[in-house]
A and B are shown apart, each in its own frame.
Chain A
Amino acid sequence: MPEDPEVNQNRFGTGVGNNTQRRLGNVNDQSKCACSCGCITAEDPRFAELKSYIDSLNQEQGITMPVLQEAQRSFGYLPLEVQKFISENTGVPLAEIYGVATFYSQFAIEPKGRHHIGVCMGTACYVKGSQKVLDKLVEELKVKVGCTTSDGKFTLEATRCLGCCGLAPCIMIDDDVFGKLDDVSRIPDILGKYE
């Protein structure tokens, strides 16, 4: 992590402070990056894809959300590199992009696991024991809520109502919903289906 504010100024031009950068992690600085998450480089072909997606929306108004959603789908999360790229290509200030990316719970600033587990914490699920389901997943995956397993396979999150209240308690893994999990012993089998 570069501590010298000068370095920050040079890299971002827009004056992203040290605090912000600490929260964002060190994904922006390739030369100093020591992580093993397969960091995104400027040559990444996904940037070109994102650029053509942005160009395809040229005539539209209010494209920030669709572009961020596409970027999140493609990269899996929204590191500063990507936010900066979007800012440069849409003309929306980086501060605004960052503001939007951090406002909505579905945008991630840090990398996520290959599979996303959302435990429904809607009212129907809550009164029918979704806390027990969440506890079981914490125990099975050995991971805290909001975090990713050490093998990068699953990210565990408590989520808003999935609208399957008739099948409470339920969870959603990627786009699939599993319901009636009163019997938490079913959970290991469900997790076993994912690679």
Chain B
Amino acid sequence: MMTMVDLNGLKAKALEEMESEGTLRVVVGMATCGQSAGARRVMETLKKDVAELGLDNVNVAVTGCVGMCTYEPILEVLEPGKKKVTYIRMDPEKTARVVKEHLQGGKPVLDYTVGHDHAGNLKNLEDLQFYAKQERIVLRNCGTIDPENIHEYIARDGYAALRKALLEMTPETVIDEMKKSGLRGRGGAGFPTGLKWGFAAPNKADQKYIICNADEGDPGAFMDRSVLEGDPHAVLEAMAIGGYAIGASKGYIYVRAEYPVAVERLKIAIGQAQEMGLLGRKIFGTDFSFDIEIRLGAGAFVCGEETALMASIEGERGEPRPRPPFPAVKGLFGRPTILNNVETYANVCQIILNGPEWFASMGTERSKGTKVFALGGKINNTGLVEVPDGHQAARDHLRNRRRACPHGKAFKAVQTGGPSGGCITAADLDTPIDFDNLVAIGSMMGSGGMIVMDEDNCMVDIARFFLDFTVDESCGKCTPCREGTKRMLEILDRIVAGEGTMQDLENLEDLAENIRLTSLCALGQTAPNPVMSTMKHFRDEYLAHVQDKKCPAGVCKALLGYVITADCKGCTKCKRVCPVEAITGEVKQLHVIDQALCIRCGACFNVCSFNAIARN
């Protein structure tokens, strides 16, 4: 059993360990992204070399993801009283040099740092524009603390919010503060969290449940994974606060099985919290008991829908059920249940600690606080950014549209909301991004994934890609979604194959409207969005496919043809790379492509040094 004094004492002790005089704290980002970029080998070298050189003052720790995927693996050196040094794109050899010259010799290796000015003054991540404009609430501990060490979480005021709620607040005041903060669910729909909790609280039942939806299925969104891998205790603590507010003693975290690192860190975190009495019976000596169990998904996108998720925990096929009754009245195992997304929970503790007014002071009029966006696709600065809702994350990173996309390609659109969302074109980039505005321009926030597309991406192909996804992931329970999306996919298949007609475009719109209106759950209701949105903004591309039988971006293979123009110098390069020997011609003579043999792989187009191959 923990008292107040215990927590303060632990915090002081942990802070001393982390920041004591003369100690170097070296952290390596070891989230899934860091590990796949090679962080594990960096860590091994670091530990080995530090041990071999007998550097007793060096304290090596694992952290989560700092959110700057382009720079992984990232290694940071923290020394009390000095500016943090950030090393980027590390490998074992670089690490060995850093250990020798910096950790032992005391001189940072400038070549490997994130940058420095002419005078040799080091920059670190916080100095970069990518980072500087961010406001970190959800990601405050990611990349800073060791997620496998509860003491480091406590050092950053961990479990102080739970203590405050249990000892100083009634469940009603907790819910009131959540309502006042204006926090809206971050899973996609944006329902006010405090209001939701308020629905469940008055319902009488022998058991109520708190669920954390960590089935982050939107392709292109990975902030929930980052939070679970970098700061798992923040989610556990918030779930306990939610449990106290609505009177639940049992929580489930439903995590997708594609996130093994997150599952492992959650298991460790739950174990540590139970051991210290921060989860379990009579927390902080009060009558409140709360425990959390992890349940794994098994690869079904529809389980991100709340009623399907609950069916899955109950051990059934993950099929949604009609609402009402809403989960707050009749949810998991027929009991009142509150279900929130990982990112939503990650805000809760900070609201309790800093007050609802502080939270409500950020964001736009109707969306308070911050939102984490995952930037990916054809963009140089890939990674996670946390900005006040409405702040223009995408626009900031795309301001210089020529430089934003790799290889100097032209920016075309940002896709938000995954298979349920739509596109934001250059014209709409000045719209503040929040829940309501995105819906107004025919997209949706989804969980905050933003995929940048450039001139090489065919929007019809992208629409087809998303529909292929929904057809595959439709659970099959309701007809509009099961049959309708399939028919839409068949039409798009015809269009990209060059067999589309103008009637097909009309049919697409008709089907889309019916599916949107009549599907049982959000998966079906939003499935036509990518098609509707691309048809609205890129109708010319659809017309090019249907009328001219051409794919302007050069993606749809059936519509492509390559011809060699008079610019050909006869260098034979294309002839050599052609996998099917469709190109003939002598040295220094004009070459020719045999259209009957050509498989339209584009290999010749990519190697030609004289721009002598035309795509049509």
Contacts and interface: CB of A to CB of B under 8 A. Distances in A.
Contacts of A103: 300, 317-318, 475
Contact of B222 (A106, A107, A165): A165
Nearest to B261: A175
Nearest to B310: A62
A96 B319 CA distance: 13
Interface in A55-91: 61-66, 68-69
Given A66-B295, A69-B298, A103-B300, A123 B220 contact: yes
A23 to B, nearest CB: 17
A160 B303 CA distance: 13
A123 B219 contact: yes
A160 B296 contact: no
A144 interface: no
A180 B37 contact: yes
A163 interface: yes
B377 A168 contact: yes
A164 B316 CA distance: 29
A66 B72 CA distance: 34
Contacts of B382: 124, 165-168
Contacts of A166: 33, 68-70, 72, 222, 376, 382-383
A180 to B, nearest CB: 7
Contacts of A167: 33, 36-37, 69, 72, 382
Contacts of A111: none
A178 B40 CA distance: 12
A69 B260 CA distance: 14
A164 B383 CA distance: 9
Contact of A65 (B33, B70, B315): B315
Contacts of A180: 37
B312 A160 contact: no
Contact of A62 (B70, B219, B333, B449): B333
Interface in B223-241: 225
A179 interface: yes
A166 B68 CA distance: 8
Nearest to A61: B333
A124 B220 contact: yes
Contacts of A65: 295-296, 298, 312-313, 315
Interface in A13-72: 61-66, 68-69
B225 A163 contact: yes
Contacts of A104: 297-300, 318
A165 B37 contact: no
A127 B378 contact: yes
Contacts of B449: 123-124, 165
Q: How large is the interface on A (under 10, 10 to 19, 20 to 34, 35 or more residues)?
A: 35 or more
B260 A175 contact: yes
Given A106-B257, A163-B259, A127 B457 contact: yes
A138 interface: no
A159 interface: yes
Contacts of A170: 36
Contacts of B300: 103-105
A85 B415 CA distance: 46
A1 interface: no
A165 B72 CA distance: 13
A3 interface: no
Contact of B451 (A118, A123, A159): A123
A176 B36 contact: yes
Interface string B290-316: 000001111111000000000011111
Contacts of A96: 316
B211 interface: no
Contacts of B465: 123, 126
B36 A178 contact: yes
Interface in A154-183: 159-168, 170, 172, 175-180
A159 B258 contact: yes
A105 B298 contact: yes
Nearest to A157: B299
A63 B295 CA distance: 10
Contacts of B216: 163
B432 interface: no
Contacts of B301: 160
A177 B312 CA distance: 26
A191 interface: no
Interface string B119-163: 000000000000000000000000000000000000000000000
B331 interface: no
A170 B36 CA distance: 9
Interface string B368-398: 0000001011100011000000000000000
Contacts of A168: 376-377, 382
A68 B257 CA distance: 13
Interface string A94-133: 0010011001111100000000001001111011100000
Interface string B459-488: 000100110000000010000000000000
22 contacts: A65-B312, A69-B257, A92-B315, A99-B317, A121-B219, A123-B220, A123-B377, A127-B451, A127-B457, A127-B462, A161-B217, A163-B216, A163-B258, A165-B377, A165-B449, A166-B376, A167-B37, A167-B382, A175-B260, A177-B32, A177-B35, A180-B37
Given A65-B313, A105-B300, 14 more contacts: A68-B298, A69-B257, A69-B298, A99-B316, A100-B315, A122-B220, A124-B219, A163-B32, A163-B259, A164-B33, A165-B219, A168-B376, A179-B33, A179-B37
9 closest pairs, A vs B, by CB?
A166-B69, A64-B315, A122-B219, A104-B298, A124-B376, A165-B376, A161-B219, A163-B222, A177-B36
